[in-house]
Amino acid sequence: MNHLWLTLSETVLIELEQSADEGRDVRAFADEAHLIHEMFGQGKLMEDEARRLLDKIREAPIASDFSFIEPNCLEGIKKARPGNRKTDNSGKPRGGELYDKIYGAWLARCAGCLLGQPVEGWRRGRITGLLKETDNYPVKKYISSNVGEALRAKYRIADEGNVYGSNKINWINNVLHMPEDDDTNYTILYLKTLETYGRNFTSDDVSASWLMNVPLLHVCTAERVAYHNFTNQITPPLSGSYYNAYREWIGAQIRADFFGYINPSDPETAAEYAWRDARISHVKNGIYGEMFVAAMLARAAIDSGIKDIIDAGLGEIPEKSRLTEGVKKVLAWYDEGINWEQAVERINQLWDESNGHHWCHTISNAMICTAGLLWGDGDLEKTIGITICAGFDTDCNAATTGSIIGMMKGAKGLSEQWIKPLGNKIKSGIDGFGLTEISELAERTVNLIQ
């Protein structure tokens, strides 16, 4: 079955889980949803039946005991923020220090993405097994496919594969620069968007920027649904929810970084910019994930305390949201004194990596990012290493946590071992970029700040 259009038939089971997450009692629809999905698996589409079922699921009432408060509008989100959030954001970096931090964020985002990209989609046991058998656990270097025939067979390692137009899997021995990835495409896209529309950009501007600059097949899940919605004249914010079962998946969270970059020391504005973007393809915790990361990055420009950075992220999203609950669980585990492997195990007990909805959800992956940041203790290698060992969306999470550490440390504070292989170059699918120097992207970012 061709997954190009993300048919309604293939989303019914995801919608069932998503609506249950949102507090709806959808048990009565389970049998029909499984039947439609089973027929999809056999190559038979039941689109009319799927549409009717999706409408019924989305109309199911929310249970009276559902305790979370999760608005989509910016005013509602601001009202739902914690009352004790910090608002002192003085000390904005300037001049050479500002450039160093922005450059560091770009570089470390690329480094985390490159570490996690070749094992994206692998389950945790497979990842840690390979790392342990190649003397790379805990992680201390990029992952190579030159591991001998026995390990290649055991871990089903291949070099050939289609990754955003490349015919190679991006193991470190196969790259000369940062290869293309959606996690870095969006960061570059929003540089171009802000250069085009300025700081007063709207959600409609963002959707237009997607259509002008991003090939359809370079976006996934919630983004692809939103893209189709744009082309059918379904505009933001409806584009984020209209038959979009992926509306709380990780896609918006990975788009946050640039909004943090251009608002150093200002988490509130960074989060607002992220909201303008996230609402075109996501709702509720899907939106909050992007706001959370953008705010952390803005705070990381002036703060080296990991807990303070995480608190700044939580300060910009609803206090009684499922995302806040998940992040606070990880913070409590850290205070309890367990080690990072125990924290990763607990996350995997709460979220099933074999379930696609869990694997790609905003909250599961935000919890992994939180664990990587806490137990990584400000060290890039430890942070991105812990993050990929947790499994789930490896390249997304390592890119996010790497970006935050890079903003904290600056380019001068990053180890050559992780930065030199990038060659200061990045390949992009964004129109007009191609192969670009990472330092140029940092310079253009600083120009927008100033």
pLDDT tens digit sequence for 81-134: 999 888 877 788 999 999 999 999 999 999 999 999 999 999 999 999 999 999
Please, what is the end-to-end C-alpha distance for the chain in angstroms?
50
Phi first, then psi, for residue 6 (nearest 5°) are 50, 70
Could you give the C-alpha distances from 367 to 333, 353, 428, in angstroms and in order?
11, 13, 28
Report the percent of the chain where pLDDT is more than 90.
93
Query: If we measure between CA atoms, which residue out of 254, 258, 203, 191 comes closest to residue 229?
Result: 203
**CA 165, CA 168: separation in Å to the nearest integer?**
9
User: What value, to the nearest 5°, has the Cα angle with vertex 356 and ends 350 and 361?
Assistant: 60
What is the pLDDT, as a whole number, of residue 1?
44
Domain ranges in the chain are 8-59, 74-117+179-449
| Confidence band of 22 (pLDDT split at 50, 70, 90) | very high
Q: Give the Cα separation of 311 and 391 in Å (integer).
A: 24
Average pLDDT over residues 177-190: 96
| Spatial separation of the C-alpha atoms in residues 99 and 290, rounded to whole Å | 23
pLDDT at 8 over 60: yes
The confidence score (pLDDT) of residue 84 equals 87
Reported residue count of the chain is 450
- Of residues 360, 429, 343, 424, the one with CA closest to residue 397: 360
Domain 74-117+179-449 has CATH 1.10.4080.10: yes
Q: Give tens-digit pLDDT for 320-353.
A: 999 999 999 999 999 999 999 999 999 999 999 9
Token digits of residue 257: 């970084």
CA distance 369 to 390: 9
**Is 393 annotated to bind ligand?**
yes
Give tens-digit pLDDT for 410-450: 999 999 999 999 999 999 999 999 999 999 999 999 999 98
Residue 135 assigned to a binding site: no
Find out whether 249 and 220 touch, Cβ atoms under 8 Å: no
d(CA 299, CA 85) in angstroms, rounded, equals 13
For residue 298, the surrounding DSSP H or E stretch is helix 284-300
